[in-house]
Structure 1
């Protein structure tokens, strides 16, 4: 049990499988507030004397999730909230776990799980599960009620029981109104003073989203010092890309339903790869489509219509997602069959850095290339000339970022 009269408040990205006690990716309060206003996800941590007590996650469509920690700083309970017709939040599902060892907790392997579900009209159903037997029960058995970790519930029919729905309602919080969730900490045995003071201990906003830095150096032959040591930079011609529609698409060729697109003049343009070579290996560090000979004077991140740089934390970016270890430049109207991908893209890339999937002229072709060191997300930069025209588009695989682009 933790007794507290104040809570430290910090912000971060959603935690996912992370089972630590602090944010794996911290956010400033300002970025979290902008995400709240935009209806996008973020997380809030309430701590007392560096001990986490509650992790609050803001989900889309007015939903919230709260994880509660016990006095060992273990996440032992998860409460899901959704909007209720009254305008408040309904704690419609609460899940508690028991873990036998520290190792079991660290890996998320619970021994027993108890889930309480509440309907909008106040009907309650309780379900118990055990990892060892795989069994479930929808009403508490005497053994489980006793708290014995070796209890094995017998399945019984679902019999929802009535309750007062008001007992499961709370206010939908405005940003910063985390006092709403403080009463739920008592469910893990923690006790609060009559007045609880919230103190913001979040990180500063820092330098903002990832900035394009050193992009030109990626395509300048010679040696370069990187965090992996000295590498030789070798620009390589990857062919010409036909873009008859005037919309360049950058995508994993295996997932082209939502490519990152850039409006460019229709035409045929050279594609260049930047190879990063060491005595032991060579990798694709970046890829570029060049539209004008004039050097870029300014760089901007290629964004989709609803993406907002103000929602990004320090060093974050919107980029092209990669799940096949491959990225492609193509016209936005180009389609690819699964057979073409397997035989004419993925297999040839086992032996080469880049491959062209032809199209009968003047139809668009496709130029695919290896994605750095594999799957992940990578920024796409638009280089503009002095008069604001698009001079090039670059995918940076972040193999050796500069000091300004960590």
Structure 2
């Protein structure tokens, strides 16, 4: 049996495949989850007539194979650089993929649009310093710091962002740079005590650990494993756990004093969760309107985690409920604003990310308190699993609802109808 291959069609679809991977690669770098990238590449290829599309995405590479009677078998592989959240680019890439699915456009036009997205303005150094300082100050108060601790955390945050910028100009490995940054951060937090100031280094460290700890990567890796993306999940979790422990240890080595300053009041929790979520969104180049909505989701999600212990219920159930609230809210907002739910979900769960818990775990380790180290370590893992489980289950419920809605409307699940 002979298969007639149309060489013109083969060349055209090969170019489209390259453009689809261009979009998928950039989405993965700017913050999209693995499943979204896989779906996007499949939808784009199918929009141009490909009927058999196999996509495999892991943390460092994308592999796509398409097959057809007139094109034979085509496979392309792409190396993926490290992740760097940029919400406006992610929104633009998602919008481009929606337009392609609705009405396919030539490969050269897609390439031009991708170049325009690549050359979009980025957040300035001054703005990133300002947002980092506010994040550090707000989460310092969130984790039990007093006003003076929050001010000192903001000062340390300014110095750390400047150091991060300088390290970025060198050829130093990014992971080594993060570990070095954490050691310097721990020493800076402790330095205020050298001048006789009555501050709590632990509160300063927990505020500044939030912008650097890959807590979201850790939760996303567990989420991937729940979603049967086992290889990607294992790779990301191993990387995130190792890096998180090194960063937390770096901050903890330079710390002294108590592990927490004061018990945080409920309204301080909600206020600092809102401010922290807002500034994180802006730090990751999000639109101010999206930032406000994401911050409200963050505040609401943390409200659930407060509500459960207040009624004497299990605190891990509170984290689970908060993650469910954040996921459903993010999906609804994504449908309203026609953008990826990830933009709101990442911010929605940011206050629940176990950055403070990781710091406490390594604080006990460097203090050689192995009993507390073990208990806190298990607790930290359960926080992450509870959040990931809440996200996965809520996502499954939402996807089931969307499938039912699609059947009621037109009987098909079009790629143009996705978030």
TM range (shorter): under 0.3
TM, length-normalised to structure 2: 0.24
TM, length-normalised to structure 1: 0.24
The structure with the largest alpha-carbon Rg is 1
Q: Which has the higher helix share?
A: 2
Structure with more relative contact order (C-alpha pairs < 8 Å, separation 6 or more): 2
Q: Which has the higher strand share?
A: 1
